[in-house]
Amino acid sequence: MPDHHLSTYLNDHLAGSAAALQLLDYLEKAHTGSTGIGCFVAELRADITADRQQLEALMRRLHIAASAPRKAAALLAEKMTELKLRLEDKPRGAFCLFEALEGVSLGIEGKRLLWTALGAVAQVAPEFQGPDYVYLEQRAREQRQRVEMVRVEAARTVFAAKAAAAIVG
């Protein structure tokens, strides 16, 4: 029987990836046809899907089943996030993009930490060996850098415009 803590940890990350993918789906639909954002989000979603597949393969090898309650909770949390974003800004709005990408960025950082931890475990537990944790950690780092560039630009758009309006008004 797999370790309960390991199952919890891996399932938490699996659920987080499901929520991130749903949020990215929302952003991609909102920005379809827009200059660059739709493509950026689609590429990021493909990267996160590939990383999720790595996690699912590891879980299968370790005989850890996906947790349906965690998946349901993640999807519910994402739907609540989507509702919050809709209430705060229009779907294609810069504030919506900023807040959504901030959540995704934090999730990617969590994923990077997952790969770091599993890489350390793989050094002493052969059953964890297989995935290229160094590559996966670097990939997460690169994903976060890409997200941060777009997130920070969205912050400039939102908050600089608000500051300028306050000065003028």
Give 85-126 pLDDT, tens digit per residue: 777 777 678 898 999 999 999 999 999 999 999 999 999 999
- pTM for this predicted structure: 0.87
Q: What is the pLDDT of residue 83?
A: 80
Q: What does the alpha-carbon distance between residue 106 and residue 74 come to, in Å, rounded to a whole number?
A: 15
Give the H/E segment covering residue 151.
Answer: helix 133-155
Backbone angles phi, psi at 90, to 5 degrees: -70, 155
CATH no. for 4-168: 1.20.1260
